[in-house]
């Protein structure tokens, strides 16, 4: 059973990854944050595979450790770059294969990468959704505020105020929220 070390500052992602890998029968021997990464902690984990985020600044630290250490079995770093098959293969060719240890078979590795990549992708999707939901809330507030300005300053009814903004957005090729922002800005200027 391949021993895997996860290094990730995003805790919930690391936890998911750990659970998923264990479900797929991999042995997760440790979860570290980047701050804890040094030669001792990496050695102590004695992992066959190390999984890190491709975009973590701490990757250079790991480079030095794996390059300079004479006693350390060369770790494999799996990049959680993107979720499509194409970039997983690219990651394997570039970064991952850079560290491939002889003890890890190709099949094991691709299994680990698939699980890791899927988990990274799911985490990203959830975060994006949350961001989008938050964004929508902000947008709705702006539209309401602009509607209120049109109603009090120009005597529109609520449905008419909305219609006015919508037709303006359509004729200008802009989004309603952009029209709303313009109305709010114009109001601020006139005060």
Partner 1 sequence: MKQAGVLLGTAGIMSMVPMGTRASAWAAGSDAPELKEVKVGFIPLTDCASVVIASVMKFDEKYGIKIIPSKEASWAAVRDKLVNGELHASHVLYGLIYGVQLGIGGQQKDMSVLMTLSNNGQAITLSNQLKDKGVTTGAALKKLVDSEKRDYTFAQTFPTGTHAMWLYYWLAANDINPLSDVKTITVPPPQMVANMRVGNMDGFCVGEPWNNRAIYDKIGFTATTTQDIWKDHPEKVLGSTAEFAQKYPNTARALIMAILDASKYIDDMANRHKVAEIIADKAYVNCPVDVIDQRFEGKYEDGLGKKWNDPNYMKFCSDGAVNFPYLSDGMWFLTQHKRWGLLKTDPDYLAVAKKINQIELYKQAASQVKVSIPKNVMRTSKLMDGTVWDGKDPKKYAASFKVKA
Are the C-beta atoms of 31 and 144 separated by less than 8 Å?
A: no
**CA max distance for the chain:** 79
Among the listed residues 29, 58, 114, 187, the single contact to partner 1 using CB under 8 A: 58
Site residues for partner 1, 121-150, by CB under 8 A, read none
Pattern 13-52, partner 1, x by CB under 8 A: -------------------------x--------------
Q: CA-CA distance, 87 to 73, in Å (whole number)?
A: 26
Q: Which residues contact 170 (CB under 8 A, 6 or more apart)?
A: none
Q: By CB under 8 A, is residue 184 in contact with partner 1?
A: no
Q: Measuring CA to CA, which residue among 91, 94, 7 is closest to residue 49?
A: 7
| 56 forms part of the interface with partner 1 (CB under 8 A) | yes
Closest CA to 181 of 168, 171, 130: 168
* CB-CB contact of 113 with 78 (8 Å): yes
Strand pairing report for 76-79 and 27-32: unpaired
Which one, of 74, 65, 15, lies nearest residue 41 by Cα? 65
Among 5, 32, 62, 150, binds partner 1 (CB under 8 A): 62
102 near partner 1 (CB under 8 A): no
Minimum gap (Å) between residue 2 Cβ and partner 1: 21
State the Cα–Cα distance between residues 122 and 127, nearest whole angstrom.
9
Among 68, 133, 137, 189, binds partner 1 (CB under 8 A): 68
**Of the candidates 29, 41, 59, 184, which one interacts with partner 1 according to CB under 8 A?**
59
Smallest distance, partner 1 to C-beta of residue 98, A: 3
The answer to the question of residue 71 lying near partner 1 (CB under 8 A) is: no
Q: Which stretch binds partner 1 (CB under 8 A): 93-101, 112-120, 130-138, 169-177?
A: 93-101
Site residues for partner 1 per CB under 8 A? 38, 54-68, 79, 90-91, 93-95, 97-99
């Amino acid at each position: 059973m391949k021993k895997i070390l996860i290094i990730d500052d995003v805790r919930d992602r690391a936890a998911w990854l750990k659970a998923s890998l264990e479900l797929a029968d991999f042995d997760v021997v440790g979860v570290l944050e980047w701050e804890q990464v040094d030669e001792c902690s990496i050695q102590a984990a004695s992992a066959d595979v190390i999984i890190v985020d491709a975009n973590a600044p701490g990757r250079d630290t790991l480079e030095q450790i794996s390059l300079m250490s004479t006693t350390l079995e060369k770790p494999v770093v799996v990049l959680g770059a993107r979720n499509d098959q194409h970039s997983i293969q690219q990651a394997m060719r570039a970064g991952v294969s850079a560290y491939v240890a002889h003890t890890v078979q190709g099949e094991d590795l691709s299994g680990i990468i698939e699980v890791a990549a899927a988990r990274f992708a799911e985490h990203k999707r959830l975060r994006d959704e949350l961001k989008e939901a938050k964004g929508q809330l902000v947008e709705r507030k702006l539209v309401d505020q602009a509607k209120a300005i049109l109603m009090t300053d120009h005597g529109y009814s609520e449905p008419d105020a909305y219609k006015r903004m919508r037709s303006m957005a359509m004729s200008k090729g802009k989004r309603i929220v952009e029209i709303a922002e313009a109305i709010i800005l114009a109001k601020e200027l006139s005060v």
